């Protein structure tokens, strides 16, 4: 659905207000506060976003698309072990950089049709990576795309909870995860 220009500007202001709250550490995203920050009525927010989850999904859409592009590159990587590592690292880094994406990926059900389509596309590409990795003996036979989603969500939580002052936690946890996926 294409928005009228004025409606698109209002939506952009609401998304900017929500992003500012996320950047300040406010994961609650109260729609009343976002409406106030964007200079619109709360009804306007609800016309664009059915609720907090729909708002999070809209905020995460660009990062989701970027992750899909990285999954496509991983699926086409001639070295599938490297492709798998790149995919898991990209999923972890994107979640660390975008708390909205982390929240969306950690929620088993999505509200927006766009997010459902993005999830299917990411799942299909991830399955391509996993199928190739299985055939190459890189991972166990029982690993599915949802396992990768859940594990990367857990890794991003582990990195966030402990800090990463020396910058080694991501690679250390990534190594532990990938070793655990091996047959």
| Local confidence pLDDT in tens for the 183 residues of the chain | 666 788 789 999 999 999 999 999 899 999 999 999 999 999 999 999 999 999 999 999 999 999 999 999 999 999 999 999 999 999 999 999 999 999 999 987 888 999 999 999 999 999 999 999 999 999 999 999 999 999 999 999 999 887 766 778 888 899 999 999 999
Length of the chain: 183
Q: Give the Å distances, CA to CA, from 63 to 33, 36, 99, 102, 138.
A: 24, 26, 10, 10, 27
- The separation between CA 137 and the C-alpha centre of its own chain, rounded to angstroms, equals 27
For the chain, give the longest Cα–Cα distance.
56
- Phi, psi (rounded to 5 degrees) for 108: -70, -20
Query: What is the C-alpha separation between 96 and 90, in angstroms, rounded?
Result: 10
Residue listed under structure tokens 């998304």: 15
């Amino acid at each position: 659905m294409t928005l009228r220009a004025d409606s698109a500007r209002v939506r952009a202001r609401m998304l900017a207000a929500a992003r500012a709250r996320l950047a300040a550490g406010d994961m609650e995203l109260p729609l009343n506060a976002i409406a106030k920050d964007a200079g619109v009525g709360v009804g306007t927010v609800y016309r664009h976003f059915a609720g907090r989850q729909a708002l999070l999904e809209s905020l995460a859409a660009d990062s989701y698309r970027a992750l899909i592009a990285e999954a496509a590159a991983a699926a086409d990587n001639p070295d599938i072990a490297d492709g798998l590592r790149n995919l898991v690292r990209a999923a972890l880094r994107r979640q660390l950089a975008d708390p909205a994406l982390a929240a969306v990926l950690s929620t088993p059900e999505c509200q927006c049709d766009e997010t459902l389509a993005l999830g299917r596309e990411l799942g299909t590409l991830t399955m391509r990576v996993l199928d190739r990795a299985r055939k190459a003996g890189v991972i166990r036979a029982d690993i599915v795309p949802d396992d990768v989603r859940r594990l990367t969500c857990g890794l991003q939580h582990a990195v966030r909870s402990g800090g990463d002052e020396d910058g080694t936690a991501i690679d250390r946890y990534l190594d532990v995860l990938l070793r655990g996926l091996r047959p």
